[in-house]
């Protein structure tokens, strides 16, 4: 009888011919997440991934790590035994003796159709054996304290407790994205949601140092640290918008300041993305949340981009976004009161319905390409493990 964790995957199981690619990527990601547990080994077995070498000492830590690996639907504690009914009964008895509870139920699945007993027969044989050899357990098929699973395959598995996984798709199977990350609540959530669909994320942050502080940048790094746990590390590009912002302020109508600044952000982010093999940009915008997130504003900012800009939060309410931020533990960092480059010079009356022609006319007053070249020459890259 050997103890193991069984990792089950949800949506990947629906994949056809390229399922192996998804499962192999998931297995790689699991190994990566568990790299500090050298004793833990992975093995692909029929529709799941087995983890060997997990013991009492490291189990809860291993499970915490697995809960941040996308593509896992469930993590199940189990023991392996030979596919012989006597071995299965014995292993089930051993397992249940170690569990807390008074009532139990056995649920069997016969994956190997050559096994002589049918699923209900396996369940009753195991149930009877437990009742005969213990005196503290009763059967309750409706509300049992313990559900003992028996899965019969070439080998058999007695399963006894599940932890839900994050679901989603294995990181790396969904291409790459550049998350435009501020210090706010929304963009880290947007990054998490895209990573959950398998998109490997790289952060792009704009600051206006010295008008924004170094602490504000550190805050973004700490947010990156939280995202790194889901994203297998997090690379973060820091780009200064100080000169661009000052040029806009001195030369453009201040009602357009916000939208022009956002268009510069998009263009710099896109330049960085192209130079670094990143396919798409991602923002934390949510429709109508602020002046720069009206449909008219989005039309104007989007027009500055030549690559797709994904906005996974566009249809979400703030409280839904906050709930996710709390779950991924970025919320308490996000609400720390540091200034953002967008908030340093806020116009009194921002244009909530900008018209692209007018925005373009304003931008004529600036040497856009030169400003972008200069900003990009000073990019600082930070690598967060």
* Shortest distance (Å) from residue 186 CB to Mg ion: 7
# residues near ligand ATP by CB under 6 A: 21
* Number of Cβ atoms within 10 Å of the Cβ of 239: 22
For residues 148-187, which are near Mg ion according to CB under 5 A? Answer: 182, 184
How far apart are the C-alpha atoms of 58 and 68, rounded to whole Å?
16
Interface mask toward ligand ATP for 188-207; x: CB under 6 A: ----------------xxx-
Considering only 173, 182, 247, 362, the residue that binds ligand ATP (CB under 6 A) is 182
Q: Does the protein bind ligand ATP through residue 219 (CB under 6 A)?
A: no
DSSP state letters, 63-77: HHHHTTSTTEEEEEE
How far apart are the C-alpha atoms of 63 and 363, rounded to whole Å?
52
Name residue 6's beta-bridge partners.
Answer: 50, 76
DSSP strand E in 21-96: where? 41-45, 48-52, 72-82
Structure tokens at 15: 């994949």
* Shortest distance (Å) from residue 73 CB to ligand ATP: 29
Interface mask toward Mg ion for 220-259; x: CB under 5 A: ----------------------------------------
What number of residues does the chain have? 385
Q: Which residues, 6+ apart, have CB-to-CB distance to 61 below 8 Å?
A: 37
* Nearer Cβ to ligand ATP (158/180): 180
How far apart are the C-alpha atoms of 37 and 311, rounded to whole Å?
36
Which position's Cβ is nearest Mg ion?
Answer: 184
Element spanning 236, H or E: strand 234-240
* Nearer Cβ to Mg ion (232/292): 292
Structure tokens at 2: 């050997």
| φ, ψ of residue 343 in degrees (nearest 5) | -100, -5
User: Do residues 351 and 254 lie in contact, with contact meaning Cβ atoms separated by under 8 Å?
Assistant: no
* Shortest distance (Å) from residue 179 CB to ligand ATP: 7
Interface mask toward ligand ATP for 324-363; x: CB under 6 A: ----------------xxx---------------------
For residues 234-293, which are near ligand ATP according to CB under 6 A? Answer: 265, 283-285, 289-290, 292-293
* Shortest distance (Å) from residue 340 CB to Mg ion: 5
Where does this chain bind Mg ion (CB under 5 A)? 182, 184
Residues that bind ligand ATP (CB under 6 A): 180-182, 184-187, 204-206, 265, 283-285, 289-290, 292-293, 340-342
């Amino acid at each position: 009888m050997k103890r193991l964790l069984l990792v089950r995957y949800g949506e990947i199981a629906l994949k056809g011919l390229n399922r192996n690619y998804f499962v192999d990527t998931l297995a790689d990601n699991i190994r990566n997440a568990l790299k500090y547990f050298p004793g833990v080994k992975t093995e692909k077995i029929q529709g799941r991934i087995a983890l060997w070498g997990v013991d009492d000492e490291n189990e809860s830590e291993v499970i915490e790590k697995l809960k941040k690996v996308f593509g896992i639907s469930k993590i199940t504690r189990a023991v392996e035994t030979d596919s012989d009914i006597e071995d299965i009964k014995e292993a089930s008895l051993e397992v249940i003796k170690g569990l807390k509870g008074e009532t139990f139920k056995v649920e069997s699945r016969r994956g190997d159709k050559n096994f002589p007993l049918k699923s209900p027969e396996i369940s009753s044989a195991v149930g009877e054996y437990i009742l005969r050899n213990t005196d503290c357990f009763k059967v309750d098929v409706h509300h049992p304290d313990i559900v003992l699973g028996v899965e019969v395959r070439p080998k058999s598995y007695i399963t006894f407790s599940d932890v839900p996984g994050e679901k989603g798709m294995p990181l790396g199977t969904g291409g790459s994205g550049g998350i435009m990350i501020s210090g706010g609540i929304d963009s880290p959530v947007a990054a998490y949601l895209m990573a959950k669909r398998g998109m490997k994320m790289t952060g792009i942050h704009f600051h206006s140092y010295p008008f924004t502080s170094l602490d504000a940048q550190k805050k973004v790094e700490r947010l990156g640290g939280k995202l790194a746990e889901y994203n297998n590390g997090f690379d973060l590009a820091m780009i200064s918008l100080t000169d661009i912002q000052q040029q806009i302020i001195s030369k453009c109508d201040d009602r357009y300041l916000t939208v022009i600044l956002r268009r510069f952000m998009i263009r710099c982010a896109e330049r960085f993305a192209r130079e670094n093999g990143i396919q798409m940009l991602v923002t934390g915008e949510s429709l109508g949340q602020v002046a720069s997130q009206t449909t008219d504003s989005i039309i104007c900012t989007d027009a500055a981009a030549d690559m797709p800009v994904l906005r996974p939060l566009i249809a979400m309410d703030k409280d839904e976004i906050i709930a996710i931020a709390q779950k991924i533990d970025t919320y308490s960092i996000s609400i720390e009161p540091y200034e953002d480059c967008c908030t340093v010079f806020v116009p009194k009356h921002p244009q909530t319905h900008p018209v692209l022609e007018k925005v373009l006319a304003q931008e004529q007053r600036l040497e856009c390409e030169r400003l972008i070249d200069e900003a990009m020459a000073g990019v600082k890259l930070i690598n967060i493990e």
